[in-house]
């Protein structure tokens, strides 16, 4: 970590850890649990050092049973604590689907509002680290499909640092999807960075010719594509969704109303992914604003390959996003 005049340079891993440390230090009801979060320091080293700082009551290693420790987190939340449950990678969340979808998401509704489940699930997600097909899924859209859950995808260091605090005061379950490929990426963070709002998309770069909508791991290639296009005289506006449920349609629609062209970028497979939902809402609410067909850039619809060159070929790239934008502007 380095610092200059109010700005620090940190990795995403360090930004997430700062959010965890602040949560544990400021609220005694908060505790962290999951596989290897304690003595090992987390599968991706996000919780490194927190066991020594806060002790075994607050940083708890669990057995290798996602259904058990997610269920325990739900019970703890119902009992008045504020559990943060880490699931090692998103594919392991499939082993706790019953707990997440059939219990955490429904209890407030089924109890007539008598019981809330203020549970936070931290879920590393996405490709980019040669982890093979079973550990490279982008399944945020599956969970964003479910009413009763809030689903967020931090793509900046400030959001990585600040989303957890807002998630912990939400009465409903919040799923924070952390991009595995970003953990080691360095970026700037204000020395006084703190909580950020979970609601609403953010325009990360203003533009006039085409709107590029991204989230999580696709924000970086979207911004890189915007820089490439700017050198050619094409002005791209980049929108970071930040949250997939609830989805901020208004910011996307406002952007499209200015540029009249849309490119949607998604690490998930195109069929039924979050990008498809964005396109559907624009088609429903702002079709007459479009001057060109919508362009979609997504993962190739195959299990994510292990070899690096094939993995990279299967994923959205800045050059693909730029090419889609060129097609949109004609």
* Torsion of the alpha carbons at 61, 85, 240 and 183, rounded to the nearest 10: 0
In 113-248, alpha helices (H): 140-144, 157-168, 219-230
CA distance 64 to 67: 9
Give strand ranges (E) for the chain.
2-4, 7-11, 30-34, 59-61, 82-86, 120-125, 150-152, 174-179, 186-190, 202-205, 210-214, 236-240, 243-245, 262-269, 295-299
162: tokens are 């600040």
Q: What structural domains and CATH numbers belong to the chain? A: 8-190 (3.40.50.970), 202-329 (3.40.50.920)
Please give the distance of CA 160 from its chain centroid, rounded to a whole number.
Answer: 9
25: tokens are 């230090």
| Contact (CB, 8 A) for 215 and 244 | yes
- The reported pLDDT for the residue numbered 307 is 94
Catalytic residue (one of 14, 35, 86, 135): 135
The yes-or-no answer on residue 66 being catalytic is: yes
Catalytic residue (one of 66, 140, 277, 311): 66
Quickly count: other Cβ atoms within 10 Å of residue 249's Cβ.
16
Tens place of pLDDT per residue across the chain (330 aa): 665 668 999 999 999 999 999 999 999 999 999 999 999 999 999 999 999 999 999 999 999 999 999 999 999 999 999 999 999 999 999 999 999 999 999 999 999 999 999 999 999 999 878 889 999 999 999 999 999 999 999 999 999 999 999 999 999 999 999 999 999 999 999 988 989 999 899 999 999 999 999 999 999 999 999 999 999 999 999 999 999 999 999 999 999 999 999 999 999 999 999 999 999 999 999 999 999 999 999 999 999 999 999 999 999 999 999 999 999 998
126: tokens are 């996405």
CA distance 48 to 108: 34
CA distance 146 to 175: 11
φ, ψ of residue 151 in degrees (nearest 5): -125, 120
CA distance 220 to 299: 15
């Amino acid at each position: 970590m380095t610092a200059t005049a109010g700005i620090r340079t940190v990795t995403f891993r360090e930004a997430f850890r700062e959010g965890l440390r602040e949560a544990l230090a400021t609220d005694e009801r908060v505790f962290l649990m999951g596989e290897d979060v304690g003595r090992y320091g987390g599968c991706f080293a996000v919780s490194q050092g927190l066991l020594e700082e806060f002790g075994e009551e607050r940083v708890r290693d669990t057995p290798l049973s996602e259904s058990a420790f997610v269920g325990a987190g739900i019970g703890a939340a119902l009992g008045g604590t504020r559990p943060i449950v880490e699931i090692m990678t998103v594919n392991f969340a499939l082993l706790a689907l019953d707990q997440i979808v059939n219990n955490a998401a429904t209890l407030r509704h089924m109890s007539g509002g008598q019981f809330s489940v203020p549970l936070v699930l931290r879920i590393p997600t996405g490709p980019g680290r040669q982890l093979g097909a079973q550990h490279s899924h982008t399944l945020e859209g599956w969970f964003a499909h479910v009413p009763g859950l809030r689903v967020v995808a931090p793509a900046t260091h400030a959001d990585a640092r600040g989303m957890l605090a807002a998630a912990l005061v939400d009465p409903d379950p919040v799923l924070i999807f952390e991009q595995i490929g970003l953990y080691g990426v360095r970026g700037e963070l204000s020395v006084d960075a703190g909580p950020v709002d979970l609601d609403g998309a953010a325009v990360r770069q203003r533009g006039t010719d085409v709107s590029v909508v991204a989230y999580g791991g696709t924000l970086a290639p979207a911004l890189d594509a915007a820089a490439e296009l700017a050198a050619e005289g094409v002005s791209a506006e980049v929108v970071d969704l930040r949250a997939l449920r609830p989805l901020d349609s208004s910011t996307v629609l406002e952007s499209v109303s200015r540029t009249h062209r849309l490119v949607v970028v998604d690490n998930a497979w195109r069929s039924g992914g979050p990008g498809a939902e964005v396109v559907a809402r624009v088609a429903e609410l702002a079709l007459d604003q479009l001057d060109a067909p919508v362009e979609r850039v997504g993962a190739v619809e195959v299990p994510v390959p292990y070899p690096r060159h094939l993995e990279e070929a299967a994923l959205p790239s800045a050059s693909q996003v730029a090419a889609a934008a060129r097609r949109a502007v004609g």
